[in-house]
Amino acid sequence: MSLFLRRFYFVLVGLFLSAPLIVVAGVSVNARQTLAFPPQGFSLAWYVEIFADTGWRNALFASLTLATLSAALAVAIALPLSWFLWRRIAPWANIFQLLGIAPFTLPPVITALGLLTFWATTGFYGQPWTAVISHAIFFVTLPLVTLSLGFSAIDRSLVEAAATMGAADRTIFRTVVLPLITPYLVSGYAFAFVLSLNEYIVAYMTVGFTMETLPIKIFNALRYGYTPTMASVTVLFVVLAAVIYSLIARYGDLLKLLGANSEEKP
C-alpha cells in the first residue's frame, strides 16, 4: 500500500473514532443549554456543573468510590490466584482461572442478571457494597490477565537465585516477585478502575434503584431529554481514561500487555 493510501486510511479510522467525541466536546462548551454544534458561544459552565450540582457531584463521587474499591477487590482476588497458578503445579486449579475470565467474556447482561437474581434472593438487593463485589467479579478478568502475563514474564532462575542466597518462600515473594509484578498489578488495577467507572448494566441491575453512578445518571438524564452536563461528563471520562492509559504506557510496557513481544533493549 502506498504511503498516501495508508495515511488516508488511518485518518479515516481516526476520524471515525474521534468524530462523536469531537461533537460532544463541542456541545459541552455551548454557552446556552441547547444541543447545538458548532457550539454557540464558549463556556466551561457545564464542567463546573459536574462539581457544583449535588446530583452530578454525588454520582461522580459514587462512581469513583465504586471504581476504587471494586478494582482493589478484583486485584485482591486475581493476585493470589495467579500467584498460586504460577507457583504450583495444580492443573485442576485452572478452573478458577476460567471462572475469572468467564464474566467478562459472556454478554454483560448475563452476569448482571445473575448477580441481580443472587442479591435479590439473598435479600441484599440495593446495598451499595453489593455493587463493589459485583464489579470486582465482573472485572476480575483484567487483573487476572495482566498478572498471569506478568508472572509468566518472571525468569524463574531469579526466584531460584534468591533461594540459593537464603531467602524463604515468603521473603522471595516480598523481595523479588512483588517488585517484578508491580507494573502488571498497577495496570490490572487501572484497567479494572477505568472500566468500572464506565460500567452501566451491572451497576444498574444491582444498585440502580438506590444509588446513581455517573453512567446511570447520564442514562437517566438521557431518558428525560438533554442536559449539557452529560457532554462535559463524557469529555471528562474520555480524558480520564486517556490519562490513565498514557500513564500505563509511560511507566510500563503497554504493547506487551496487549500481546506484543517485549520492548527491545536499548
Partner 1 sequence: MPESGRAGSLPSRIPLRRGKTNGDTMSGLTLNSVRKDFGSFTAVNDVQLNVPHGTFVCMLGPSGCGKTTLLRMIAGLDLPTSGEIRLDGEDITAVPTHKRNLGMVFQSLALFPHLTVGENIAYPLRIRGAPREEQKRRVEELLAMIHLPGYADRPVAKLSGGQRQRVAIARALTRSPKLFLLDEPLSALDAKLREAMQVELRQLQQQLGITTIVVTHDQREAMTMADTVVVMNQGEIRQAASPIEIYRRPADTFVADFIGSTNLIDMDTDSTGRAIVLGQAIAGLSAPRSGKTILSVRPEDVHLTAPGSEGAITGTVTFVRDLGGTIETFIDCSGKPLIAVSTPRARPEVSVGQPVGVVLDPGVCVVLDR
Partner 2 sequence: MRREAPQKLTDYAPLAFPAIMLTVFFVIPFGTMIAVSFFQRQQGGFYTPAFVLSNYERFASLFFANVLGFSLTLAVLVAICCVAIGVPFTYLLTRMSRRAQIVWMVALLSVLSLSEVIIGFAWSTLFSRTAGITNLLVALGLMQKAVALSPGFPAVLTAMVYQALPYTILVLYPALVRLDPTLTEAARTLGASPLRAFFTVVVPALRATILATLIMVFIFALGSYLLPQILGRPQHWTLSVLITDQAIYQSNMPFAAAMAVFLVLVTLALVTLTLFAGRKREAAA
Residue 61 site contact among partner 2, partner 1, none (CB < 5 to 8 Å, cut-off depends on kind): none
Asked if residue 76 binds partner 1 (CB under 8 A), the reply is: no
Residue 165 site contact among partner 1, partner 2, none (CB < 5 to 8 Å, cut-off depends on kind): partner 1
Asked if residue 11 binds partner 1 (CB under 8 A), the reply is: no
Q: What angle do CA 36, 40, 41 make, to 5 degrees?
A: 145
- Quote the strand ranges of 122-171, DSSP E: none
Asked if residue 90 binds partner 2 (CB under 8 A), the reply is: yes
54 vs 164 by CB, closer to partner 1:
164
Binding letters toward partner 2, positions 100-119, x by CB under 8 A: x-xx-xxxxxxx-xxxxxx-
Q: Quick check: 140 and 74 in contact, CB under 8 A?
A: yes
Figure out which of the listed residues 11, 44, 48, 76 binds partner 2, where binding follows CB under 8 A.
Answer: 76
- List the interface residues with partner 2, window 23-52 (CB under 8 A): 23-24, 26-27, 34-38
Contacts of 155 (CB under 8 A, 6+ apart): none
Binding part of the chain for partner 2, among 45-53, 54-62, 178-186, 190-198 by CB under 8 A, reads: 190-198
Q: What is the DSSP letter of 20?
A: H
SS3 label, residue 202: helix
Asked if residue 245 binds partner 2 (CB under 8 A), the reply is: yes
Q: How far apart are the two ends of the chain, measured CA to CA in Å?
A: 30
Q: How far is 220 from 241, CA to CA, in rounded Å?
A: 22
CB of 90 to partner 1, least distance (A): 18
Q: How far is 174 from 72, CA to CA, in rounded Å?
A: 19
Characterise 53 by phi-psi region: left (phi > 0), alpha (psi -120 to 50), beta (else): beta
- List the interface residues with partner 1, window 157-186 (CB under 8 A): 157-158, 160-168, 171, 175-176, 179-180
- Judged by the rule CB under 8 A, the positions of this chain that interact with partner 1 are 155, 157-158, 160-168, 171, 175-176, 179-180, 265
